[in-house]
Structure 1
């Protein structure tokens, strides 16, 4: 275990309005990270998981959205969790690793011994304390959360090979054309501050190559202008792949659920996964968990405290009812094809079943 003096910070990448277009139309009126899943904003789930990290000093959200879009939520969640949460807006795209490096001075203000990096559009149980403990055992610069998937779906993600005895990352390739492994990158990491040196090295090497091209020939110059900016560094291709097999990176495999939240359809599935998780982590959030008999509740259901549900209504399974919603008498809400559910307006109809 680490010293009680050690401090940890977490960085959650939230993207921006030019990203996540596959999530439309759900993200047209609300930033994708604030879209509700299981009654909570999408970004709330990784933030809540970060709260469980020992010696957590700060949580940063990094993205391209205007600061005003996150101001109210950041203030609210900071007060709720009693942990400082701060939104950092990128001036331009820097890549997943470059975005981290761009705010290195702020991130290192608390002199953290470890830095968690999470992608917002990931749905899982976020075993962050367990990852940190495993990372301290492994040593090295970083540990990656991985999961086993079907061979057919693996190619949609970053595939990796790890040593079965030491869990060292031996090989990493992003969305390969041919099958490499059924273990994939979950988009959740813990690093030591050495990650900043690794990112700086990539940026410096890119600058050196660009300078060589400029003085070689006009044709080479044309090629250089089409290459990536020197301060744009991708975590997968530029950091993970080159450092694999060098005793710097390790893996921690989760046996729990994991999904990427890329499409509107996935939001329904992931909402159900989080509701099911509430049974074990936050039963008080589920309707009926306090023993009340306000309506007929079927399986996992979240009802916001400000919502009004008639006692004769039937709700569930896997349903979240948002703030100030009104559910009338004899109405039914469920995730079946016989009942209609709209994202920002619930249309409750008599259940044919």
Structure 2
């Protein structure tokens, strides 16, 4: 099994936090988004992963430190890492085709801006599985249309009338991803674009026209990391899931001086908490210092110093300094607000 991860976008909706770190590498509940996504997919697949292909953007943005992190991730799952580049933002179908040498055999394609919780077996009768989540407002999403055999027969973008309540979340399984590759090559050769981009859906629709069987794989939880507000909500939900799983979230190197932690919280290595209450639903990265503060429902990265603060629904980057009265603050890496 292979996993293909297009992640060339810069995550503009998550600025300023994505100005210095690509969005898929931003930690949520102590682990980068793409690391959580790939690890959770591997758990669902329940079979060995031989290769993980990452499609990155501009080398000036996705540099050697990013590549090293992704190779470490692949190796932790017993897989080989392959690195490809998408030089121009020409859509989902184009991004997948940038990994053309890896597009053979069974594979999962997953876009690195979402997190999931799921437990199901892949349907062996299906040529492809499109992972979906039941939503209350399907008119706001791309959804699947099913026949009486629960096979996907159509993809409908933001339907004006009810089609189904199963929204496409951006994770796909292909029994042989080379079939999709062939269809996407046709799309590229014929220069078929939607919204000025080459789309994966156009390749999928051609597979459906050829009679390929598509089924749904429904996830229990679908968490987005699109902007600051949603990322903080995802951090909260993920902390709750990890606590229920019994995962150790607080490093034994945390220094507490008249401090209180209200779980669930993720507290990284060598964090100092002094005259402070942290939690619930707070993540604090390695080597950060928090003094004379109260923090809840917030996401704070590494090497950051916070003093005299009362934070709720805040997101603060790496190497930042904050000393102020703002409650729902959002500041990026290397920022100082005093």
- The interval holding the TM-score normalised by the smaller chain is 0.7 to 0.9
Asked whether the equivalents of residues 180 and 207 of structure 2 are also in contact (C-alpha less than 8 Å), the reply is no
Tell me what 1:200 maps to.
182
Q: Offset at 1:82? A: 4.3
Change (3 A) 1:102 1:29: closer
Does 1:64 pair with 2:57?
yes
Does 1:184 pair with 2:156?
no
Q: Give 1 or 2 for the bigger CA radius of gyration.
A: 1
Structure 1 or 2: more helix by fraction: 1
The number of residue pairs the alignment matches comes to 304
Cα deviation 1:165-206 (Å, max 9, x = unaligned): x4311221122344422211111111122x433442354366
Q: Offset at 1:162? A: 2.1
Does 1:339 pair with 2:314?
no
1:121 corresponds, among 113, 121, 132, to 113
Tell me what 1:305 maps to.
269
2:73 corresponds, among 70, 77, 82, to 77
Return the structure number with greater relative CO, CA threshold 8 A, min gap 6. Answer: 1
Tell me what 2:20 maps to.
29
Tell me what 1:220 maps to.
none
Change (3 A) 1:144 1:260: same
Tell me what 1:167 maps to.
150
Cα distance in 2 for residues equivalent to 1:298 and 1:146: 34
TM-score of the superposed pair, with normalisation by structure 1: 0.74
Tell me what 1:149 maps to.
135
Q: How does 1:6-21 map to 2 (within 5 A)?
A: 8-17=1-10, 20-21=11-12
Structure 1 or 2: more strand by fraction: 2
Cα distance in 1 for residues equivalent to 2:231 and 2:163: 28
What is the alpha-carbon root mean square deviation over aligned residues?
Answer: 3.2
Structure 1 residues without counterparts, runs of 5 or longer? 1-7, 211-226
Does 1:262 pair with 2:248?
no
Tell me what 1:104 maps to.
100
Asked whether the equivalents of residues 272 and 318 of structure 1 are also in contact (C-alpha less than 8 Å), the reply is yes
Q: How does 1:191-340 map to 2 (within 5 A)?
A: 191-193=174-176, 195-204=177-186, 207=189, 228=193, 233-240=198-205, 243=208, 246-254=211-219, 256-281=220-245, 283-284=247-248, 286-287=249-250, 294=256, 295-310=259-274, 312-328=275-291, 330-335=292-297, 338-339=310-311
Q: Offset at 1:16? A: 2.2
Asked whether the equivalents of residues 115 and 191 of structure 1 are also in contact (C-alpha less than 8 Å), the reply is yes
Asked whether the equivalents of residues 8 and 56 of structure 2 are also in contact (C-alpha less than 8 Å), the reply is yes
TM-score of the superposed pair, with normalisation by structure 2: 0.77
